[in-house]
Homo-oligomer: A and B are copies of this chain.
Amino acid sequence: MSSRKDDILQAALECFSIHGIEGTTIDMIREKSGASVGSLYHHFGSKEKIASALYMEGLRNMRELQDKRVQRAQNLEQFLKAIVGSHVDWIVTNPDWARFLFSQRPVVSQTGDQSLMKEESLASYQQLMSRLFELAPEGYELPYPKAICVSLLIGPVHEYARAWLSGRQSKSLAGQKEFFAQAAWRIFQPSVA
């Protein structure tokens, strides 16, 4: 791998995460990466393509962790905590990437391959659901419509993460992991007879 390409991607990610895609100029990336304008265009062709590449790679990277954790889960509780926990951990480990993914989705959607993103999303969603039913006890019925389950699980983490990533919330995200996991379990646990 040309380390040049990676330097550029890393520099672009930092810029995008702070200023957004539209607020980032090619010149900022050039300066931070140490590459030349020509080099940037030689490798990527356009600013949007750098952004797209980073976005897709980010999604993949995030889901890799989620999948690994989900596979390991042995029961419903572990499954729910795996989802919540993997999101928390990934965000804490990759704050720039997370800031970028959270805030720039609308921008990337309008330029990049929406179809590709949709596929990815759908695949991930279906995989999650099927795994859930593998692990749930016999006869378990979802207490909520399928459509909102992912939001119920991940929404709180994302909401808090946005505040934390922007500096609005100073209390560590990592420290809340257990609580988010507990809440997820409370919401989805089979009703106690």
Residues of B within 8 A of A103 (CB): 103, 106
Interface size of A by CB at 8 A reads 37
Contact of A160 among B155, B166, B171, B176 (CB under 8 A): B155
**Copies per complex?**
4
In the docked arrangement, what's the CA distance between A22 and B186, Å?
41
Chain A 152-193 residues near chain B, CB threshold 8 A: 152, 154-160, 163, 166, 168-169, 171, 176, 179-180, 182-183, 186-187
A157 CA to B187 CA in the complex, in Å?
A: 14
Interface set, chain A 101-160, CB cutoff 8 A to B: 103, 105-107, 109, 118, 121, 143-145, 147-148, 150-152, 154-160
Asked if A20 is at the interface (CB within 8 A of a chain B CB), the reply is yes
A38 at interface, CB cutoff 8 A = no
Is A147 a contact partner of B176 (Cβ separation < 8 A)?
A: yes
Instruction: Determine whether the beta carbon of B20 is less than 8 Å from that of A23.
Output: no
Extra 15 A-B pairs, beta carbons < 8 Å, given A106-B166, A150-B159: A20-B106, A22-B22, A23-B107, A118-B168, A144-B183, A145-B171, A145-B179, A147-B176, A154-B159, A155-B155, A155-B156, A158-B159, A159-B159, A183-B187, A187-B187
A-B pairs, 7 with minimum CB distance: A155-B159, A155-B155, A155-B156, A151-B160, A151-B159, A22-B22, A147-B171
A-B contact pairs, 25 of them (CB 8 A): A20-B107, A22-B23, A103-B103, A103-B106, A118-B168, A144-B179, A144-B182, A145-B171, A145-B179, A147-B160, A147-B169, A147-B171, A147-B176, A150-B159, A151-B157, A151-B159, A151-B163, A152-B183, A154-B159, A155-B156, A155-B157, A155-B159, A155-B160, A186-B186, A186-B187
